[in-house]
Amino acid sequence: MLKVSRNAAAGWPAADWLRSLSARLEPFHIALGGAIFLAIVVRAAQVLPAHFPLNDGGLFFAMARDIQAAHFRLPEFTSYNGGQIPFGYPPLAFYIAAVLDEVTPLSLPALFRLLPLLFTGLTVVAVYQLARDMLPSKVAVVASVAAFGLIPRAFIWLLMGGGIARSLGFLFAVLALHQVYLLYTKRDNRYLPLAILFAGGTVLSHLETAWFLAFSIAVFWVATGLHRQGLISSAWLLAGTAALTAPWWGTVVAYHGIGLFLDANSTGGNIFSDAATRSVVVDALARGVSTSEPYFPVIGALGLLGALVCFTSNRFLLPAWWIAIVLLDERSYATFASIPVALMAGIAIAEVVLPVVNRPSHGSHAGEGTPAPAPARNDGAELVQRYWKAALVIGWLLYYVTVPTLANNRGEETTLRALSSDQRSAMAWIASSTPTNATFLVIPQAAWEVDKESEWFPALTGRQSIATVQGSEWLPDGAFARAIYAHDRAWGCAGSNAACLDRWSADVGKPIEYVFLPSTAAGKLCCTELYNSLWSDDRYELVYDSAGGAVFKRSAPAAMGPVAPDG
**70-97: per-residue pLDDT in tens?**
999 999 999 999 989 999 999 999 999 9
Q: Are residues 178 and 306 in the same domain?
A: yes
Cα separation of 325 and 216, whole Å? 8
pLDDT digits (tens, 9 = 90+) for 506-550: 999 999 999 999 998 777 888 899 999 999 999 999 999 999 999
In this predicted model, which residue has the larger pLDDT, 540 or 8? Answer: 540
Q: Are residues 311 and 448 in the same domain?
A: no
| 238 pLDDT more than 50 | yes
What integer pLDDT is reported at residue 319 of this predicted model? 97
| 437 pLDDT more than 80 | yes
Q: Are residues 123 and 249 in the same domain?
A: yes
Residue 516 domain-assigned?
Answer: yes
Cα separation of 133 and 180, whole Å? 11
Worst-scoring range by mean pLDDT, 62-66, 197-201, 412-416?
412-416
| Three-class SS of 236-254 | HHHHHHHHHHHHHHHHHHH
- Give me the count of residues in the chain: 567
What's the mean pLDDT in 354-366?
Answer: 66
What integer pLDDT is reported at residue 564 of this predicted model? 41
Question: Quick one: pLDDT band at residue 15, thresholds 50, 70, 90?
Answer: low
What's the mean pLDDT in 19-45?
Answer: 83
Residue 132: is it exposed, middle or buried by C-beta count within 10 angstroms (0-12/13-18/19+)?
A: middle
Cα separation of 60 and 291, whole Å? 26
pLDDT digits (tens, 9 = 90+) for 154-184: 999 999 999 999 999 999 999 999 999 999 9
Last residue of a domain, one of 324, 348, 372: 348
| 55 pLDDT more than 70 | yes
What integer pLDDT is reported at residue 116 of this predicted model? 98
What integer pLDDT is reported at residue 275 of this predicted model? 82
Q: Are residues 271 and 188 in the same domain?
A: yes
| Three-class DSSP category at 518 | strand
Last residue of a domain, one of 303, 333, 348: 348
Task: For residue 405, give every residue at least 6 positions away whose Cβ sits within 8 Å of its Cβ, in sequence order, or none.
Answer: 42, 150, 152, 293, 294, 413
Residue 5 domain-assigned?
Answer: no
Q: 544 has which bridge partners?
A: 551
Cα separation of 187 and 225, whole Å? 8
What integer pLDDT is reported at residue 387 of this predicted model? 57
Task: For residue 498, give every residue at least 6 positions away whose Cβ sits within 8 Å of its Cβ, in sequence order, or none.
Answer: 530, 533, 534, 537, 539, 540
Q: Are residues 115 and 227 in the same domain?
A: yes
Question: Quick one: pLDDT band at residue 4, thresholds 50, 70, 90?
Answer: very low
Backbone dihedral region of 515: left (phi > 0), alpha (psi from -120 to 50 degrees) or beta? beta
Q: Are residues 255 and 125 in the same domain?
A: yes
Give the residue among 449, 454, 476 at the shortest CA–CA distance from 466: 454
Cα separation of 509 and 435, whole Å? 22
Q: What value does the CA radius of gyration of the chain take, rounded to a whole number of Å? A: 27
What stretches of 318-413 adopt beta strand conformation (E)?
none
Last residue of a domain, one of 286, 317, 348: 348
| Three-class DSSP category at 509 | coil
Q: Are residues 442 and 335 in the same domain?
A: no
Q: Are residues 329 and 461 in the same domain?
A: no
| 227 pLDDT more than 70 | yes
Question: Quick one: pLDDT band at residue 369, thresholds 50, 70, 90?
Answer: very low
pTM above 0.85, yes or no: yes
Residue 130 domain-assigned?
Answer: yes
Q: Could you give the number of structural domains in the chain? A: 2
pLDDT digits (tens, 9 = 90+) for 502-515: 999 999 999 999 99
Its domain, for residue 148, covers 37-348
